Structure 1
Amino acid sequence: MEGTHNSVLRSSPRRAMGPGNGTGVSEFVLLGLASRPATRRLLFPLFLGAYLATLLGNLLVSLLIRRDPRLRRAPMYFFLAHLSLADVGFTSAAAPTALGTLAFGSWAVPYAACLAQNYVFITFGVLENFLLAVMAYDRYLAVCRPLHYSAVMSPGRRWGLVGTSWGLAQLHALLHTLLLARLPFPARPHLRHFFCDLRQLLALADGDTRPNHAAVLAEGSMAVLGPLLLVAGSYGRIVATLARLPAARGWRRALSTCGAHLVTVALFYGTVIGLFFRPAGHYAPWRDMVATLLYSTVTPLLNPFIYSLRNQEMKGALRRVLGRGPVPQEA
């Protein structure tokens, strides 16, 4: 089946270029995660299982928060619901083509679809980045400024923070996609990746990619390092505040929660920074692909368990949805 599929890919006629596509390319061929059929047969169920678990976990978190009045009123869970939806979009941007490459050995993606996939992937990746910062700021207010928490985190402020995150993510993705669309590519190029990744697309481009790399380092630095500093500063203040209160009830549990959050933040930001903020000459396809797997698959898979499903409020909401607990009354 693989040989037939690959022979069809090699022999398929080149499609006519669409309007405005002056790059000379009609489609990109993704070579996927592995070249050996035995390796692909091993990876396919693992990747499919991780993808389904990510979808179920994050959709369950969003459903529980929407159905439970108590959680719906809490700012922390309001942001968690949006983070869960961002995780669904983030992992779904790349997972279908990744599963296709594992099933068939390679996968042809039309030029326009490749640009669209790149846009969606960047949008949800940056959105998750901003939401992590918003959530860290929310926790800082709850722990370090509890008397002002309700006033600062009003419903209007919550929607403003989420709306701003969505808007900035869209602008960020649009900038990089427009810069990518101006580049010429060789006819029917092959990508050693499981989706249309920006880094590998720039490595394949024939034109001048210096504006693209400059945008990644300049604008990308602000979009990634700014939220990272806010996360680090917020949790640093939380830890310092709790450490001064050794007799406070539950401070050890709070520190444990901060630690688990920071592990996931370190995994997400560490791989993103290591992947994108390197000189253009240090391009390594397989290393980049492994790094992309970590922040696009592992982090969305772990988020529901680290942030939500293991705490008592979410467990209580799940019991109430299943009809095994009292239903809280609206305020």
Structure 2
Amino acid sequence: METPALSSPTTYPSTGGPAAASAQPGRTGVLIVNLGTPDSPSVPDVRKYLREFLMDGRVIDIPAVPRFLLVNGVIAPFRAPKSAKTYRQLWTETGSPLKYYGQVIERELQRELGDAYVVKLAMRYQNPSIDAGLAEFQRLGLTEIVVIPFFPQYASATTGSVYEKVMDVLKTWQVMPQLRFVNRFLEHPKFIEGFVQLGRKHMAEHDYDHFVFSYHGLPERQIRKGDVTKDVCRLGDCCSSLHALNQHCYRAQCFETTRRLVRELGIPDGKHTTCFQSRLGKDPWIQPYTEDVVKELAAKGVKRVLAFSPAFVADCLETTIEVGEEYKELFEQNGGQHWQLVESLNDSSLWVETLVDLVKTR
């Protein structure tokens, strides 16, 4: 089957020069949205977070009644104590790293954009909420709202869920301002350069035998449901390029992100692996699984690995703990010697510049 080529990537403007909003009447609201975090690492707060997160029908995409029973009868009661212990490992003096870096970016982006914009941080689950951010925009009577989910690759369970929540709130408004969503930004050159610079810093300090690019996983059924053609998705070589028919496939976007990073970092063929982490339940998730890749690399005699997590823009449980500590321990238990996590973009200037471009690009 011949696949039509994907249109050429957007050309992003320089962050310099006068603000684009100067030609627009009124002010523009910018809602930056990350996944979420518990209010504290206590068991009750973690349980509350898990319930809201996992009751989202785009996250656990099964009928409402069995989902309710699964989440409230099994997952939240039994998983919350274990997850709370892990969150306590992650927590710092400033609280959750994901929320802390979000707050820093909120301030920095506001400073860069100026008074023609109002920037608000929101979390899809818990606080600060999307409802509160949009309520503030409504009170201010803004001309336009730009929503930027903090997910480089589109997935129904992340970006799609943010879209749905925002629209659920806005449908109750009598007056709706102009609305614009950012669908993904894996192609943005400054997003790529941000991870490239972080990777080069570690590559200058050590020689690495292999490079792992670990992305958050999804159930295979969600990938297949997203194939509107019903003919492209085979969860295999169909992800070897990104084109018009698979451009919204999360797995294909992840492989494309790896290709762009590998090219800029100059990593040779055969020295890198794209894989997927954070499985939940017994159903098959997209592969290869990071856990299996880690064991296989060690078994093959690979001793030094540099690991990237390019699905996350802020350090969180999935990066710092899962990739940075749990996979490190697994690698060393199986004979590996050195495992290094590349930190997320967090509050880097290139990440702020990426967001400025995303706001101003039409």
Same fold by TM (over 0.5)? Answer: no
Greater percentage in strand = 2
Greater percentage in helix = 1
**TM-score of the superposed pair, with normalisation by structure 1:** 0.30
**TM-score of the superposed pair, with normalisation by structure 2:** 0.28
* Greater gyration radius: 1
Higher relative contact order (CA closer than 8 Å, sequence separation 6+): 1
